[in-house]
Structures are given as structure tokens and as C-alpha cells.
Amino acid sequence: MKKRLYDFSTSNAVIFILAYAMLLTLNIFSVSRNNWENLPGILFFIVLLIGLIAVITYYVLMAISIDEIEIKHRSTRILKKNTDAYIRPNFRLKYNEIIFRDKSINYEVLSKKEVKKNEIAVQYFDKYEFYVLSYLNIEELKQWSS
């Protein structure tokens, strides 16, 4: 069984998609009223489409996936049997994150950039905690300590 962890809430996704739908609809309406001859309107429409495609690609297609063997996010892979999971506050974005780390890597000797490259972070939601606890067969997520 494969599970995907998305880095956004359902309400954020609905608001974002509705905002894009409204902008695209208004833009298509205004450009079509000018018989598709309004160059700035067409360019704005193309930029909106490229932005929507980029956001969907980053947040949906590149989401964290957990299967029977490993946890994957882009090029970072952590074997399920070597996974440690933590809850860490993200003070800059004002939410908590679930951090997946590989037990076989000594993170204390790595630079901050290498640590970020070797760990996987996803926004904390209660449903993710329940899934991670049951799927990784651990009792509780460890609280982050600096």
C-alpha cells in the first residue's frame, strides 16, 4: 500500500484552486471579449497557467510517498526500517512539521545544508500522525529537542 503525504491542508487547496479558477475565468473572459488580440491579457493568462502547472507539480506530483519499503521525497529516500520520526516546530512558517530521519546517518557532524538534504519534512496534521504511527510501527512521535 502506498500513501502520499501532502504539504498543505484541504482548505488551503480549495481556496487556492478557487482563486486560480476565478483569475483564469476573468482573464479568459476579458481576453475573449477582445477577440484574443489583447497581448498583455494573453501573456497574463499564460503566466497564470504556468504558475498553476508549477504549483500542482511541486505540491501534488512531488509529494512525500510512503510505501512498504521506503519513504521518498524527490531524490531523498529513507528505508522504512531505518526511519526515525519527530515533531518539530517551524517558527518561520508558524506550524509543526513531521520530520523523517535516517537512523544510519549521524546528523550531528553534517552541516545544516546537508541535514536539510538528508531529512524529509511535511506539515503536521493529526491524520498524518495516526498514519505514521501505525504504518511505521512506533509508539509515538518524538518531540524535537535542539
State percent of the chain over pLDDT 70: 99
Total-model pTM: 0.74
Per-domain residue ranges for the chain? 3-61, 69-143
In the structure, what pLDDT confidence band is assigned to residue 114 with cuts at 50, 70 and 90? very high
* φ, ψ (nearest 5 deg) of residue 60: -105, -50
Q: Are 96 and 87 in contact (CB under 8 A)?
A: yes
